[in-house]
Amino acid sequence: MADPCHIPICVLPHAAGWHVASWRRPWAVDKEIWNPDVWKRLAQTAERGRLDAIFLADLVALWPAPEHLRHHTAHVGQWEAFTLLSALAMVTEHIGLIATGHTEYGSPYNMARRTACLDHLSRGRAGWNVVTSSGPEQARNFGKGDQDPTELRYARATEFVDVVRGLWDSWEDDAYIRERSAGIFYDPEKLHVLDHKGEHYTVRGPLNVMRPPQGHPVLAQAGSSGPGKKLAASIGELIFTPHSGYGAQAYRREIRAIARELGRDPDGIKVLSQVTPVVARTQGEADAKWDELQSLRHPEIARGVVEAMLGVDLSAAPLDEPLPETVQGIMRVTGYHDAVMDYIRSEKPTVRQLIHNYKGPGTIVGPPEVIADYIEAEVESGACDGFVLLIQGMPEELEDFVELVIPELQKRGRFRTEYTGTTLRENLGLARPPNRFAGTSGTEGVAFAAAWNALR
């Protein structure tokens, strides 16, 4: 079981770094995003730091940015998550591997198969980050003119996940009996046909992959809209949020309350808040690192970062006047919009100050003690149970976090010194789900058994 004092931390990497100007520094890996050796070293660094998981975000389009500015960034693409994590499973032993998978652009059967295979390949370290989609650019790559309404997308996602979980349970854990003398490889009574007929999907099953080592790979979600929060609370075991402070406290309370109303144990959910550290051995060195990053931004890209979070065009906004607290835009990701609005309400910046000073959710600049203080304070305040770690630049700054911040957390007794479990679930302290069909006779099994008995 997981150490109750351990604060879970999953790293969400981007090879070019999450800061839009990180790629401009001389040591940045930039074009090496497509070099698998870079990702191998990254994964092994994260595992050396005893982090809980590598979590890969994934879009099925270019990163959203105005076309006339995109060439000023390195946020132009990313590996298909399951492909890369399958490779990383072969060069790691303990760290979890969480892949983003879209419910809008695939089938439940294929998703159940991919996630189950990754769990077998990694010997029980897989997770699935459930997303619908996050922008019209992705919809257009699949023949749609725009995204479907939020309520419809989340209704489909809810059914999609239920089908996937049912397919994971196609085989009971001990279905493979391998009776060589009798010539029977599996017990037909322990193979179950889902035969799902729902509002959005019709899927017969069974899955042609043995039940995953974890029973079900760990389910992650990041819902922030009304329907998104309901989905997160109904299925999520790891729930990601960009909020911090009071906003994160309110979000965590709401998610746990919805989960309780839905009949779930809220303690079976871990809310992970976003932290984006800029760490160095001294405050002065950390400040210098941050100032360098900010100075390398293209001015329009700097504005675009805030515009993307708010979902508004700031090009015509008076620079030396405050942005109205009631500003509304097209919210691509509700959580990021709300995080910026929290900053605007608390700091009341002018538009110029907002563009130049806003660091992004969970950005902390300082030595390891400052970063560790923030991590501890957020957990102790009830804002979150752990963190999603966004690194400003790869791979050096992940190495800095592992070499500087992790030892500080370990010294305080807030982070593991060794992995204690063999699966991602065990390391996170999450229960292994029972098979929904255990103890019942599968449709295939009844027919097979009848035919077998007739021949005996």
123 Cβ partners below 8 Å, 6+ apart? 213, 422, 423
Task: Please tell me the predicted confidence (pLDDT) of residue 443.
Answer: 55
Mean pLDDT calculated for residue range 119-124: 98
Helix H or strand E encompassing 295: helix 283-295
Cα 238 to chain centroid, rounded: 8
pLDDT tier at 31, thresholds 50, 70, 90: low
Cβ 45 vs Cβ 39: under 8 Å: no
- Name the residue among 187, 363, 188 with its Cα closest to residue 274: 363
Q: Where are the alpha helices (DSSP H) in 367-455?
A: 368-380, 396-400, 406-411, 424-428, 443-455
What was the pLDDT predicted at 445?
47
Q: Which two tokens stand for residue 65?
A: 């940015």
The fraction of the chain above a pLDDT of 90, given in percent, is 62
- The pLDDT of residue 452: 40
Predicted confidence band of residue 65 (pLDDT cuts 50, 70, 90): low
- Nearest Cα neighbor of 239 from 215, 259, 261 is 259
Distance CA 323, CA 354 (A): 9
Give the ranges where 149-282 is alpha helix by DSSP (H).
150-168, 226-235, 245-261
CA dist 72 and 297 (Å) reads 9
Residues 92, 67 contacting (CB under 8 angstroms): no
Q: Which of 5, 90, 104 lies closest to 39, judged by CA? A: 90
**CB 343 within 8 Å of CB 383:** no
Average of per-residue pLDDT across 293-319 = 75
The pTM is what? 0.89
Tens of pLDDT, residue by residue over 177-220, are 999 999 999 999 999 999 999 999 999 999 999 999 999 999 99
How far apart (Å, rounded) are the C-alpha atoms in residues 22 and 305?
A: 14
pLDDT confidence tier of residue 442, bands split at 50, 70 and 90: low
What are the structure tokens assigned to 255, written together? 């998610």
Find tokens 């789900």 and name the residue.
433
Task: State the DSSP H helix or E strand holding residue 441, giving kind and residue range, or none if neither.
Answer: none
47 to 27, 93, 95, 273: CA distances (angstroms): 22, 8, 6, 20
Q: What is the DSSP letter of 32?
A: G
For 102-116, 139-153, 161-175, 315-329, which range has the lowest pLDDT when averaged over its residues?
Answer: 315-329
The answer to whether 86 and 115 are in contact (CB under 8 A) is: no
Distance separating alpha carbons of residues 294 and 19, to the nearest angstrom: 9
* 360-364-367 Cα angle (round to 5): 155
First to last CA, the chain: 47
374 alpha carbon, distance to own chain's centre: 21
**pLDDT at position 67, please?**
72
Rounded to whole angstroms, the Cα distance separating 217 from 109 reads 15
Q: Which domains does the chain have, with CATH numbers?
A: 9-284+362-455 (3.20.20.30)
pLDDT at 439: 83
∠ CA 92-94-95 to the nearest 5 degrees?
A: 80
The sign of the dihedral angle between the CA atoms of 327, 331, 335, 340 is negative
